[in-house]
Amino acid sequence: MSFAVDVLNYMICSVARNIAYFVLFHPFFLLMLSKVVLEN
């Protein structure tokens, strides 16, 4: 059970880190996304 929790924690942290990198290093995508959101 503890092993499963560790794996789940690792996956969540990994995904969160990937999202953070994506947001930091893809400002163009972020600008496009905000533009689409504002138009709707």
pLDDT for 14 equals: 95
pLDDT for 16 equals: 93
Angle at the Cα of 16 from the Cα atoms of 19 and 39, rounded to 5 degrees? 40
Tokens describing residue 28: 């163009």
Report yes or no on whether pTM surpasses 0.75: no
Range of the domain at 26: 2-39
Tokens describing residue 14: 């990994």
pLDDT for 1 equals: 66
pLDDT digits (tens, 9 = 90+) for 1-40: 689 999 999 999 999 999 888 877 778 877 888 899 998 7
Query: How many independent structural domains does the chain possess?
Result: 1
> Do the Cβ atoms of 32 and 25 come closer than 8 Å?
no
Tokens describing residue 11: 């996956």
